[in-house]
Amino acid sequence: MASLFKDPNKLSAYRDRKFPGSQDEFEHALQTSMTVYVGNMSFYTTEEQVYELFTRAGEIKKIIMGLDKNTKTPCGFCFILYYSRDDAEDSVKYISGTILDDRPIRVDFDWGFQEGRQWGRGRSGGQVRDEYRTDYDPGRGGYGKLVQKE
Ligand code: GTA
Give per-residue pLDDT as tens, 31-64.
999 999 999 999 999 999 999 999 999 999 999 9
pLDDT at residue 146 in the model = 83
121 lines ligand 1 (CB under 6 A): yes
pLDDT over 90, % of the chain: 89
Query: Could you give the CA distance from residue 90 to residue 143 in angstroms, rounded to a whole number?
Result: 33
7/5 Cα distance (integer angstroms): 6
Q: Is the CB of 93 inside a 6 Å radius of any atom of ligand 1?
A: no
Give the number of the atom of ligand 1 that is nearest the alpha carbon of residue 17. 28
Least confident of 42-56, 71-85, 133-147: 133-147
Q: Which residue has the higher pLDDT, 142 or 4?
A: 142
| pLDDT tops 50 at residue 1 | no
Higher per-residue confidence, 2 vs 49? 49
Pocket lining: 110 vs ligand 1, CB cutoff 6 Å = yes
By most ligand atoms within 8 Å of CB, the mutation choice from 108, 123, 128 for ligand 1 is 128
What count of other Cβ atoms lies within 10 Å of the Cβ of residue 76?
27
Q: pTM for the whole thing?
A: 0.95
